[in-house]
Amino acid sequence: MNEPVRRDGERITRNRRSDATVSRILAATEAVVLSGGAERISIIEVCERAGVSRGTFYRYFSSQDDLLDAFSRHKREGFHQSMLAATEHLNDPDERFRALIAYLENYVAHGQARQLLLAAPEYTLRFFQRIFNDSLVRLQDVLRVVFDSWDVQLGVRIDRELVCEMLIRYVLSEQLVPHNRVSEGTDRIERLVRSLVMPSIESAGFAPK
């Protein structure tokens, strides 16, 4: 009772230490999955790579399935948080749209989803299925100011869900059948979006840049 500040400080320190431990375990999990696939993942190898004991591991994860579920959530949140970091500071609709397209292009070109797909195809395909609807909602949130601007300028309401779904499906298709010239990704994604709203864009004399 007479040491609330110290106790709060200890709690914060413990939480930070726990977060750091979990981060190391998840990073080690990714390395193990990339090297040997998700079906043959070894908790012992994960512990060795993370530099933790099995007792410490089981303090945070109850089983291999629990670990893989946490790893899926970690990858999903990483994708969404990075997408927000690349776009949320931009209030101008055109700038935000271009930043989002650039982020998706960079993810397609340099993200580890394709490596995961090659190393653990069944796990990665399940992961894609699990994140699809959530990504659809998150992407609509990111592009809300863009869609609002387009709606006003075009005088019609853009089918937001359709545009976002096509963007997500484009990213997923690039993981399965990568384009030979990745540097053309931005133009290709923009053409995809424009093709969905072209009639309205042409009538209003407006196009996303």
CATH of the domain at 54: 1.10.10.60
- In this structure, the answer to whether residues 133 and 180 fall within a common structural domain is yes
pLDDT digit string, tens, across residues 115-136: 888 888 888 898 999 899 999 9
- In this structure, the answer to whether residues 34 and 109 fall within a common structural domain is no
Report the pLDDT value the prediction gives residue 177, as an integer from 0 to 100. Answer: 80
pLDDT over 60 at 206, yes or no: no
Per-residue confidence at 5, pLDDT binned at 50, 70, 90? very low
Q: Please say which residue of 33, 61, 89 terminates a domain.
A: 61
DSSP string of 144-188?
Answer: HHHHHHHHHHHTS---HHHHHHHHHHHHHHHHHS--S-GGGHHHH
- In this structure, the answer to whether residues 69 and 37 fall within a common structural domain is no
Q: What is the Cα–Cα distance from 189 to 74, expressed in whole angstroms?
A: 26
Greater confidence, 91 or 206?
Answer: 91
Domain count for the chain, please give it.
Answer: 2
- In this structure, the answer to whether residues 183 and 126 fall within a common structural domain is yes
pLDDT over 50 at 209, yes or no: no
DSSP string of 26-83?
Answer: HHHHHHHHHHH-STT--HHHHHHHHT--HHHHHHH-SSHHHHHHHHHHHHHHHHHHHH
- In this structure, the answer to whether residues 114 and 48 fall within a common structural domain is no
Stretch 78-102: mean pLDDT: 93
Q: Which domain holds residue 128?
A: 65-209
User: Which of these, 155, 176, 168, 167, lies nearest to 196 by C-alpha position?
Assistant: 167
Stretch 72-82: mean pLDDT: 92
- In this structure, the answer to whether residues 153 and 77 fall within a common structural domain is yes
pLDDT over 60 at 204, yes or no: no
Per-residue confidence at 6, pLDDT binned at 50, 70, 90? very low
pLDDT digit string, tens, across residues 144-201: 999 999 888 888 888 899 899 989 998 888 888 877 665 565 677 777 777 766 555 4
pLDDT digit string, tens, across residues 12-57: 455 777 889 999 999 999 999 988 877 778 899 999 999 999 999 9
- In this structure, the answer to whether residues 144 and 204 fall within a common structural domain is yes
